[in-house]
């Protein structure tokens, strides 16, 4: 009976109910989109880390956001020292890497260059690497620069990730300009599991170092161990940290933890923004219920006069508020799915990854929060409805 009365009350004023539900839907939808970004980023990081073959990544100092800067930090002599100590620490292979981020206001012109030795076995560094078109990297002498030419000289070859090639319209034979002093000729288009290589451009290490004026610097060294088990990798990383305190040694689980902490920081920001939207939605529900109680004062007085107890009116108003919130939540979840799809489409065009994932747990959380918001928003109107004296309520016009 209470449910029927609550439903009838909401449908009696369809415009007000629809506008309030829309406000809740927008709040819930934005919450779903914001929180889905965290789930998507976690999934993207996990996939990328799974696609990396090396067991330990070596950075200069602790790995943080500065480690991915445009200027490499690790002195080259550390590579020689690690190679000399390979047998002692169970290192099977070492792969030096130089990462250069070429930014641009236009997404299609922003590239991530990975400089690696030309003889690197890419299937060892990137899981399930495969060439889609062309061939792999080969050593080639740089062009002699023509002082009258307007283009940068070709200093090496490049293998472009599939998604980068699609996003930027890159084809075999194209020239990728690094700076006014150097360019690379595209000789292959490749792909690998995890998406990291798909969004990168592989070039020979030494030409990239020379073009950046960093002949004695690296960004990372990737180590492949004889025993690749997680326990052996963790033990080797500890021993290496003790021997080389200036360097940072991160296993796959360490990198996963670093990215997880970074995502958690963004989770706090997204939760804060979502909380503001939900509070606004809750105020809208409370305002609607207060207006409804004020307009139905005489109706409540008649109900009380025929024997209804105050708790009946409290339950009725609270149920109306919860129903209103749930209707908005259902619409909001649908809006959240649509918003996440739009975000993924935009992100895929820019970075080639889906960065928003709407999980069942996220949907359940959003609906539960909306129901709780409706319940809290209905407490004050419900108490007001129960406190109105019968005589005053019945006499009211």
DSSP 235-278: HHHHHHHHH-TTEEEEEHHHHHHHHHHHHHHHHHHHHHHHHHHH
* 101 in a structural domain: yes
**Do 130 and 214 fall into the same domain?**
yes
The pLDDT of residue 165 is 85
**Do 136 and 279 fall into the same domain?**
no
**What digits encode the pLDDT tens for the residues 113-166?**
888 898 888 777 776 778 888 988 887 777 665 555 567 788 888 999 888 888
The whole domain housing 268 covers: 2-46+260-395
**Do 123 and 200 fall into the same domain?**
yes
Sequence-distant (6+) residues with CB within 8 A of 272 are none
**Do 79 and 213 fall into the same domain?**
yes
Confidence of residue 380 (pLDDT cuts 50, 70, 90): confident
- The lowest-confidence range among 41-55, 229-243, 257-271 is 41-55
* 126 in a structural domain: yes
Average pLDDT over residues 42-63: 69
Could you identify the residue written with the tokens 């990462």? 99
**Do 95 and 142 fall into the same domain?**
yes
**Do 161 and 191 fall into the same domain?**
yes
- Sequence-separated contacts (24+) of 5-10 with Cβ below 8 Å: 5/316, 6/316, 6/319, 6/320, 6/323, 7/323, 9/292, 9/296, 9/316, 9/320, 10/320, 10/323, 10/324
Q: Would you say residue 394 has pLDDT above 60?
A: no
* 249 in a structural domain: no
* 336 in a structural domain: yes
* 168 in a structural domain: yes
The pLDDT of residue 138 is 84
Share of the chain above pLDDT 70, in %: 74
**What digits encode the pLDDT tens for the residues 297-316?**
676 666 667 666 777 777 87
* 238 in a structural domain: no
Which helix H or strand E contains 67, and what residues bound it? none
Task: Out of 227, 252, 278, pick the residue that ends a domain.
Answer: 227
Task: Out of 212, 227, 242, pick the residue that ends a domain.
Answer: 227
**Do 184 and 267 fall into the same domain?**
no
Q: What is the mean pLDDT of the chain?
A: 78
The pLDDT of residue 314 is 78
Confidence of residue 353 (pLDDT cuts 50, 70, 90): low
Which range among 6-15, 175-184, 287-296 has the greatest average pLDDT?
Answer: 175-184
Average pLDDT over residues 285-295: 74
The pLDDT of residue 187 is 92
* 234 in a structural domain: no
**Do 62 and 39 fall into the same domain?**
no
Number of domains in the chain: 2
**Do 303 and 349 fall into the same domain?**
yes
**Do 222 and 113 fall into the same domain?**
yes
Global confidence as pTM:
0.63
Q: Would you say residue 67 has pLDDT above 70?
A: no
**Do 42 and 94 fall into the same domain?**
no
């Amino acid at each position: 009976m209470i449910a029927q009365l609550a439903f009838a009350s909401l449908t009696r004023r369809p415009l007000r109910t629809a506008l309030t539900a829309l406000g809740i839907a927008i709040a819930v939808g934005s919450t779903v989109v914001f929180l889905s970004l965290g789930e998507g980023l976690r999934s993207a990081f996990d996939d990328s880390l799974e696609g990396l073959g090396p067991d330990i990544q070596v950075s200069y100092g602790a790995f943080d956001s500065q480690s991915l800067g445009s200027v490499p930090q690790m002195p080259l002599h550390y590579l020689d020292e690690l190679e000399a100590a390979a047998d002692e620490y169970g290192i099977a292979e070492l792969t030096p890497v130089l990462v250069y981020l070429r930014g641009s206001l236009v997404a299609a012109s922003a590239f991530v260059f990975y400089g690696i030795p030309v003889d690197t076995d890419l299937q060892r560094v990137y899981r399930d690497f495969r060439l889609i078109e062309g061939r792999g990297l080969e050593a080639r002498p740089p062009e002699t620069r023509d002082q009258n030419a307007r283009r940068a000289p070709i200093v090496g070859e490049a293998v472009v990730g599939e998604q980068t090639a699609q996003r930027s319209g890159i084809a075999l034979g194209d020239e990728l300009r690094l700076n006014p002093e150097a360019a690379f000729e595209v000789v292959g288009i490749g792909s690998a599991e995890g998406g990291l290589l798909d969004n990168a451009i592989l070039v020979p290490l030494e030409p990239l170092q020379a073009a950046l004026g960093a002949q004695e610097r690296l960004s990372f060294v990737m180590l492949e161990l004889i025993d690749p088990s997680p326990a052996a990798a963790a033990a080797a990383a500890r021993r290496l940290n003790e021997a080389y305190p200036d360097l940072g040694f991160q296993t796959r689980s360490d990198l996963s933890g670093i990215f997880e902490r970074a995502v958690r920081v963004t989770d706090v920001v997204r939760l804060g923004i979502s909380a503001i939207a939900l509070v606004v939605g809750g105020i809208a529900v409370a305002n609607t219920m207060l207006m409804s109680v004020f307009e139905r004062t005489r109706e409540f007085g008649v109900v009380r006069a025929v024997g209804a107890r105050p708790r009946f009116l409290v339950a009725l108003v609270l149920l109306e508020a919860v129903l209103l919130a749930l209707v908005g939540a259902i619409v909001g979840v649908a809006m959240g799915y649509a918003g996440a799809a739009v975000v993924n489409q935009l992100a895929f065009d820019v970075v080639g990854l889906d960065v928003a994932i709407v999980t069942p747990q996220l949907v359940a959380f959003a609906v539960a929060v909306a129901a709780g918001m409706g319940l809290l928003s209905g407490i004050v109107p419900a108490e007001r409805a129960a406190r109105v004296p019968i005589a005053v309520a019945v006499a009211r016009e």
